[in-house]
Chain A
């Protein structure tokens, strides 16, 4: 399988008065599984369609394996686009559906047969080859559609929420399947989704987009641990990161801030925050119930989740959620102390929504 690097430079797309994609630059490495993540309308699908050649950018460049393809037509880009709703040919059986892209390329019959068998084996649908596609279960249809995309051996795959139509259980399964398939064939893949769990689980790297802007690019765990922006911080992770306002300000070099009068340890700050402009962000798994905790709150709800429990607490600084082991007993309506993991707290500047550089978050560049 040939692989290719995809690079976009200062990509910009406007529709009349609406800017869909704003000055985006990134490189998707050879063989990478790259996820464009964001809410609907954030510009992720437009970005994907520009890479595919289905939209022409207003300005900027697209390079595929070093070649400038910005103005090349979709058919000349050697890319396979997998849409959300797979259209299979209902009057053909599975084998014919899989073989169809090769037929249009006038591939020799023996070669076609070999490749269909290979793809069917890879996707574990050998036993279905003679069946009509009409009667297939959802997951199998999805596999056939995937097979049809990979059989051409394109330089890259572009996928637009391919699992969006499946129910949760199926999705989890297909997620793993897609990822394994990618590990085996190693083709560069750009995958669009609004589902952060899917993005985290599948991506080698993810780009979080909002309102046409690429806010952060990096490996999923890094984006999760070191969000550089409040939108990114809130969008990734479930339950979401907690945000609490800082009472006053904080000086460059500070390793503590005040929230509702309580002293909260933070990674040493590399810049100051003005009075009334600071917000701390803490993930639910980085807050502990601890009698000695200086921030206190009232337990609003306790939700049992099997391996953990989710506790919702009202503090003077606002409502927050924490994840606790299911071995401790938490009483509804009781008052508890809270302790935060000082090495994991992110400080944000409220107006710009950007993270303040610290021992945890360094620099401002894209990861």
Chain B
């Protein structure tokens, strides 16, 4: 495994600046997640790293090798696509063995069998090895697709939303498996997603992207509690962070230049001090309850533990949990408290 170093990358498609002055180093053995909405440039960036697109300017190094001008096949990286692409007429075993049988590797069949069995065990598809790919469920097919990447021992893995085609439960299961396998192998992974939950749970570090630019790079915890700006603050957390004008919360001790106060829904305290609002909606989510409050025309959402009961139309007082408010200036940038 090796680090991936991207230096000042730029890429245009016609009038669109898809990637703008992008510099990032993914450490050896790191699980790095690029998070952003559709069109942010995440997939383009991954394709640049893989060599499927050529950058207009800038350089890419994998390990000690400058690969900027190198063909994809020579970069020694493995790409996992969003849609699994298996050979339907092959068995699971042969699908997994395929990358190892290429003339470049020259592996003996028993070595191949050992590798395939190992990866199949890791992914919990050991019993399906003799099944044809078409006889598998969607989740199993995607495991095979990931497995086909894992049998190789490349310098890095590039993954483009590999879990997005799966249903929620399977996604949650595969998420922990993937994270565990990555840790066990010490693999370098650059992973692209628009799903903030996936980013938070998988990543050692997250890079938040918008319009071809990298806005913030940090650990999930840092990004969640100290977002660089209101854009990043809104991209993480569900329900979304409350952003209210500072004058709405006059009791909060704000640093100078504060225009907007950000409060995560789980940090909204109801029924204590603070301004009055009217409950406009109560959503039970089982373990938690979301209460939406209309406060002087602003919508504020509170995430409460099960058991606290509020009703539509009720008047409540709202305040941020002490020390948990996040402050932003007129440009939407966070002010260190």
Question: A: which residues have CB within 8 A of B?
Answer: 168, 172, 176, 179-180, 183, 197, 200-202, 220-221, 224, 236-240, 283-285, 300-301, 303-307, 310, 312, 323, 326, 332
Contacts and interface: CB of A to CB of B under 8 A. Distances in A.
Given A176-B292, A201-B290, A303 B179 contact: yes
A301 B201 CA distance: 10
Given A220-B284, A285-B306, A183 B312 contact: yes
Contact of B221 (A200, A221, A237, A304): A304
B64 interface: no
B242 to A, nearest CB: 13
A172 B292 CA distance: 13
Contact of B176 (A240, A305, A312): A312
B320 interface: no
A305 B197 contact: yes
Contacts of B280: 180
Nearest to A197: B285
B224 interface: yes
B34 interface: no
Given A172-B239, A306-B264, A201 B284 contact: yes
Given A176-B281, A238-B168, A310-B201, A300 B286 contact: no
A301 to B, nearest CB: 4
B200 interface: yes
Contacts of B283: 176, 179, 200-202
B169 A240 contact: yes
Contacts of B306: 221, 285
B236 A332 contact: no
Nearest to A203: B284
Given A200-B286, A312-B176, 11 more contacts: A176-B292, A179-B281, A179-B283, A202-B283, A283-B287, A301-B176, A303-B179, A305-B197, A306-B200, A306-B224, A306-B238
Report the 10 A-B pairs with minimum CB-CB distance, sorted nearest first. Answer: A303-B201, A301-B176, A201-B283, A307-B266, A224-B286, A285-B287, A221-B284, A304-B220, A306-B224, A306-B237
Contacts of A197: 285
B116 to A, nearest CB: 24
A205 B128 CA distance: 42
Interface string B179-194: 1100100000000000
Contacts of B172: 238-239
B286 A236 contact: yes
Contacts of A332: 183
A194 B232 CA distance: 31
B115 interface: no
B175 interface: yes
Contact of B201 (A168, A179, A238, A305): A305
A302 to B, nearest CB: 9
18 contacts: A172-B238, A176-B283, A180-B280, A200-B286, A224-B284, A238-B172, A283-B286, A301-B176, A303-B179, A303-B201, A304-B221, A305-B197, A305-B200, A306-B220, A306-B264, A307-B266, A310-B201, A323-B287
Interface string B140-178: 000000000000000000000000000011001001100
A220 B306 CA distance: 13
A300 B281 CA distance: 38
A303 B239 CA distance: 18
B303 interface: yes
B164 to A, nearest CB: 11
A303 B287 contact: no
A172 B238 CA distance: 10
A240 B171 CA distance: 12
A307 B286 contact: no
A202 B290 CA distance: 11
A237 B287 contact: yes
Contacts of B287: 237, 283-285, 323
Contacts of A306: 200, 220, 224, 236-238, 264, 266
Contacts of A310: 201
A127 to B, nearest CB: 18
Contacts of A312: 176
A98 B283 CA distance: 29
Interface string B267-292: 00000000000001101111100101
Contacts of B169: 238, 240
B303 A200 contact: no
Contacts of A220: 284, 286
Nearest to B224: A306
B285 A303 contact: no
Contacts of B221: 304, 326
Nearest to A238: B168
A236 B285 CA distance: 10
